[in-house]
Amino acid sequence: MSVKFFAPQMVWIRDLLDPCHGDNGIDDNYIKLLKRTVDEMRSDDPIGRKISNADSGWQSVDGCDGHPAFLRLMRCIKESFYEEVWPFWGLDKNKGHMIDMHNSWANINDKGAWNKPHKHNGCWMSGAFYIDAQGDEGDFVAMSQTDRIMGDFPHSQRMNENEHLRPKTGMLYMFPSGMTHMVEPNKTDNERYSISFNLGFHFKGERPTGDIPNWRWDETLFDITEDGKLIQVSTSEQ
């Protein structure tokens, strides 16, 4: 007999403000620069784009990974993946296992804003870095689409188990792109600032997937029924 462990939900969490990360971390002054930059982006494009962001939530177009102000952050994100996620998958940068930064964008969730359940297609890993978050502007929810049997027979019941996380400033969340997730409504008067991104993978010497002509990613969006089930409603191509 054998037991195989299939597709667990995984979210790697790293505090980039922790001084132990040295050059692969950030400081408060850099956080302030990132926030000013996102404010300038919203000022230049106050409407932004609508994908999973609902109600008044603002989202920029792609391009943060190419903006000078975000280059340090992008380097820290890549190094965090190499140090934290790569060993889990048995990968090693020194053996030519390289990260592709596919795309990245900025988010501002003001009062009432939330992000619908969705997952990212056309990429391998995704994540979010929190520029300004106090922890009470709505949980990040990793959603399970697999029923679990809870309790002892004959009183067992099937439950859909989600994981709730409370983002704070400086936190980096890293997770598989196919994991369905959402952000709960912000019920505070604070605006939460974050940077989201998608990553790919290639072997050194090969062409990064994000550079392949006609490559594109999309988001699969879901609605939540009254009994908590997810129903796919659309796929939004970028």
pLDDT tens per residue, range 42-82: 999 999 998 888 778 999 999 999 999 999 999 999 999 99
> Residue 116, CB half-sphere, CA atoms under 13 Å: how many?
22
Map out the domains of the chain with their CATH numbers.
12-145+159-204+218-237 (2.60.120.620)
**Token digits for 144?**
């399970």
Radius of gyration of the chain (CA): 18
The angle subtended at Cα 99 by Cα 95 and Cα 105, nearest 5°, is 170
Q: What pLDDT, on a 0 to 100 scale, did the predictor assign at position 15?
A: 97
Please tell me the predicted confidence (pLDDT) of residue 143: 84
- Taking the C-alpha atoms of residue 187 and residue 177, their distance in angstroms, rounded to an integer, is 27
